[in-house]
Amino acid sequence: MIISTEEKKGHLLVTIQPAEASLNNAEEFKSAITQLLDKGEKRIVISFEKVAYIDSSFLGALVSCLKYAIAKQADISLISLQKDIHNLMHLIRIDKVFSIYNSFEEAIQN
Protein backbone atom coordinates (compact mmCIF):
# COMPACT_ATOMS: atom_id res chain seq x y z
CA MET A 1 0.00 0.00 0.00
CA ILE A 2 1.51 3.30 -1.06
CA ILE A 3 -0.27 5.36 1.62
CA SER A 4 -2.05 4.98 4.94
CA THR A 5 -4.80 7.39 5.95
CA GLU A 6 -6.17 8.62 9.26
CA GLU A 7 -8.95 11.12 9.94
CA LYS A 8 -7.60 13.50 12.55
CA LYS A 9 -8.96 16.79 13.85
CA GLY A 10 -10.93 17.54 10.70
CA HIS A 11 -8.04 16.73 8.37
CA LEU A 12 -6.97 13.61 6.54
CA LEU A 13 -3.45 12.60 7.49
CA VAL A 14 -1.90 10.67 4.60
CA THR A 15 1.38 8.92 5.35
CA ILE A 16 3.51 7.75 2.45
CA GLN A 17 4.56 4.23 3.38
CA PRO A 18 7.66 3.33 1.30
CA ALA A 19 11.05 4.77 2.16
CA GLU A 20 11.64 5.21 -1.57
CA ALA A 21 9.29 7.64 -3.35
CA SER A 22 10.28 7.26 -6.97
CA LEU A 23 9.41 6.42 -10.53
CA ASN A 24 8.40 2.96 -9.29
CA ASN A 25 5.45 4.21 -7.24
CA ALA A 26 4.77 7.76 -8.45
CA GLU A 27 1.73 6.79 -10.53
CA GLU A 28 0.29 4.67 -7.70
CA PHE A 29 0.66 7.62 -5.33
CA LYS A 30 -0.95 10.02 -7.78
CA SER A 31 -3.85 7.64 -8.29
CA ALA A 32 -4.34 7.19 -4.52
CA ILE A 33 -4.44 10.95 -3.86
CA THR A 34 -6.71 11.55 -6.84
CA GLN A 35 -9.17 8.99 -5.45
CA LEU A 36 -9.21 10.73 -2.08
CA LEU A 37 -9.92 14.06 -3.76
CA ASP A 38 -12.65 12.47 -5.87
CA LYS A 39 -14.25 11.19 -2.66
CA GLY A 40 -14.48 14.78 -1.48
CA GLU A 41 -11.52 15.12 0.89
CA LYS A 42 -10.78 18.83 1.24
CA ARG A 43 -7.95 19.07 3.75
CA ILE A 44 -5.15 16.61 3.16
CA VAL A 45 -1.89 16.60 5.11
CA ILE A 46 0.75 14.38 3.52
CA SER A 47 3.45 13.05 5.82
CA PHE A 48 6.89 12.20 4.45
CA GLU A 49 8.16 10.89 7.78
CA LYS A 50 8.96 7.45 6.32
CA VAL A 51 10.42 8.75 3.04
CA ALA A 52 14.21 8.79 2.82
CA TYR A 53 14.59 9.06 -0.97
CA ILE A 54 12.61 10.92 -3.62
CA ASP A 55 13.16 11.50 -7.33
CA SER A 56 11.85 13.86 -9.99
CA SER A 57 9.07 11.48 -11.07
CA PHE A 58 7.53 11.48 -7.61
CA LEU A 59 7.89 15.25 -7.30
CA GLY A 60 6.11 15.56 -10.65
CA ALA A 61 3.30 13.38 -9.30
CA LEU A 62 3.11 15.56 -6.21
CA VAL A 63 2.70 18.71 -8.34
CA SER A 64 0.07 16.93 -10.40
CA CYS A 65 -1.85 16.12 -7.18
CA LEU A 66 -1.67 19.76 -6.10
CA LYS A 67 -3.11 20.90 -9.42
CA TYR A 68 -5.95 18.40 -9.08
CA ALA A 69 -6.59 19.50 -5.50
CA ILE A 70 -6.86 23.12 -6.59
CA ALA A 71 -9.31 22.14 -9.31
CA LYS A 72 -11.34 20.36 -6.61
CA GLN A 73 -11.04 23.37 -4.26
CA ALA A 74 -9.13 21.22 -1.79
CA ASP A 75 -5.90 21.85 0.09
CA ILE A 76 -2.74 19.74 0.34
CA SER A 77 0.01 20.44 2.82
CA LEU A 78 3.23 18.54 3.47
CA ILE A 79 4.86 17.62 6.77
CA SER A 80 7.95 15.85 8.14
CA LEU A 81 10.27 16.30 5.17
CA GLN A 82 13.80 15.04 5.57
CA LYS A 83 16.55 17.53 4.82
CA ASP A 84 17.47 16.27 1.34
CA ILE A 85 13.81 16.20 0.28
CA HIS A 86 13.19 19.73 1.49
CA ASN A 87 16.40 20.88 -0.23
CA LEU A 88 15.27 19.23 -3.45
CA MET A 89 11.91 21.00 -3.34
CA HIS A 90 13.74 24.25 -2.68
CA LEU A 91 16.10 23.62 -5.60
CA ILE A 92 13.21 23.50 -8.10
CA ARG A 93 11.18 26.02 -6.10
CA ILE A 94 8.11 23.90 -5.54
CA ASP A 95 8.47 24.80 -1.88
CA LYS A 96 6.86 28.06 -3.07
CA VAL A 97 3.61 26.36 -4.03
CA PHE A 98 3.20 23.83 -1.20
CA SER A 99 2.44 24.62 2.42
CA ILE A 100 5.24 22.81 4.26
CA TYR A 101 5.31 22.27 8.02
CA ASN A 102 7.38 20.38 10.53
CA SER A 103 4.48 18.48 12.09
CA PHE A 104 0.79 17.65 11.76
CA GLU A 105 -0.08 19.97 14.66
CA GLU A 106 1.75 22.84 13.02
CA ALA A 107 -0.01 22.14 9.72
CA ILE A 108 -3.54 22.19 11.16
CA GLN A 109 -2.84 25.36 13.15
CA ASN A 110 -2.10 27.11 9.88
Partner 1 sequence: MPETPLYTATFTVDSQVDLPVFISDLSNTVSAHLPLAPAEADVVLFKLRVIVSELLTNTIKHTQESATTLLRVTITSDGMQLIRQDDCAPMHFPANDKRPSLVWPIPAEHCNHRYTVYEDDLNALSLSINDTGTASFYAWQNPDALINIPSLNEHFGLLMIALSTQAFTYEYQPATKANIFTASIEF
For partner 1, how many residues bind (rule: CB under 8 A)?
Answer: 27
Work out whether 66 is an interface residue with partner 1 (CB under 8 A).
yes
Inter-CA distances, 14 with 2, 54, 85, Å? 10, 17, 17
Contact 72, 33 (CB under 8 A): no
* Burial of 81: CB neighbours in 10 Å, binned 0-12, 13-18, 19+: buried
Residue whose CB is less far from partner 1, 9 or 67: 67
52 CB-near residues (< 8 Å, 6+ apart): 19, 20, 82
Q: Among residues 6, 38, 49, 84, which is the contact residue for partner 1, using CB under 8 A?
A: 84
Residue from 22, 44, 48 nearest 33 by CA: 44
Work out whether 97 is an interface residue with partner 1 (CB under 8 A).
yes
Residue whose CB is less far from partner 1, 5 or 59: 59
Residue whose CB is less far from partner 1, 53 or 105: 53
Provide the mask over 4-43, with x wherever binding to partner 1 is found by CB under 8 A and - wherever it is not. ---------------xx-xx--------------------
Work out whether 100 is an interface residue with partner 1 (CB under 8 A).
no
